[in-house]
Amino acid sequence: MFTLFSMPGTCSRASHITLEESGLPYKVKRVDFSKQEQLSQEFLAVNPKGRVPALVTSSGVLTETPAILSFIAQMAPAAKLAPLDDAFEFARMQSFNAYISSTVHVAHAHGRRGSRWADEASSLEDMKRKVPQVMSDCFEIIEQGFHGGPWVLGNQYSVSDPYLFVMSGWLESDGVDIASFPKVHDHYQRMLARAAVIKVLEAEKQA
């Protein structure tokens, strides 16, 4: 049994969806950011970074979305959540996930957590103003990368798809119209129709 520490609406949603897709036994523990539970001693004992997701396994705790997603895919090979038998395609999947993690998510965070990088009020406001442009630039690259199929990797669904789904869902709050990216928008709508996504979004409402 895996335990996922998660917070609705955050990037941990990608890990939650992937666990649901995998068929692996798991449970979810909500970390309530409104109560600063991510900074509690109890949670910091699980993940000293004070962030979600964190996945508790029999071998230890995993953090960072790209690592958790690839781990789940490898633990549930029958679910075919990654191209496990093709080294290049697996690396291409990891490349996409790394871009989401290191560039897209960081660009989004500049609008909400600018205090990680600056203290001056003028600097924080400047970062906020820049978010729509930077996020649009990021998604233009993603849009142009869609070719050969309906999913991130083409015809094969993978753990990259729920990760992109989460980021796409943040665009409106970043001042970006997802309709400006037709392929991304189509992907987002397709994800909304998946049984695992429907179940996870409903579970988040009830959490």
CATH number reported for the structural domain that contains residue 66 in this entry? 3.40.30.10
Q: Are 144 and 125 members of one domain?
A: yes
Number of structural domains the chain divides into: 2
Q: Are 95 and 161 members of one domain?
A: yes
What are the tens digits of pLDDT across the range 34-85? 899 898 999 999 999 999 999 999 999 999 999 999 999 999 999 999 999 9
Q: Are 60 and 152 members of one domain?
A: no
Q: Are 92 and 182 members of one domain?
A: yes
Q: What is the pLDDT of residue 77?
A: 98
CATH number at residue 129: 1.20.1050.10
Residue 147: domain span: 87-194
- Radius of gyration over alpha carbons of the chain, in Å? 17
Q: Are 145 and 47 members of one domain?
A: no
Task: State how far the Cα of 135 lies from the Cα of 138, in Å rounded to an integer.
Answer: 5
Q: What is the pLDDT of residue 118?
A: 66
Q: Are 45 and 92 members of one domain?
A: no
Q: Is the pLDDT reported for residue 112 higher than 80?
A: no
Q: Are 66 and 158 members of one domain?
A: no
Task: State how far the Cα of 181 lies from the Cα of 143, in Å rounded to an integer.
Answer: 6
Laid out side by side, the sheet with 60-63 consists of 26-30, 2-6, 54-57, 60-63
Q: Are 137 and 61 members of one domain?
A: no
List the end-to-end C-alpha distance of the chain, in Å, as a whole number: 20
Q: Are 76 and 91 members of one domain?
A: no
Residue 68 or residue 109, greater confidence: 68
**The pTM is what?**
0.94
Q: What is the pLDDT of residue 121?
A: 81
Task: State how far the Cα of 12 lies from the Cα of 51, in Å rounded to an integer.
Answer: 9
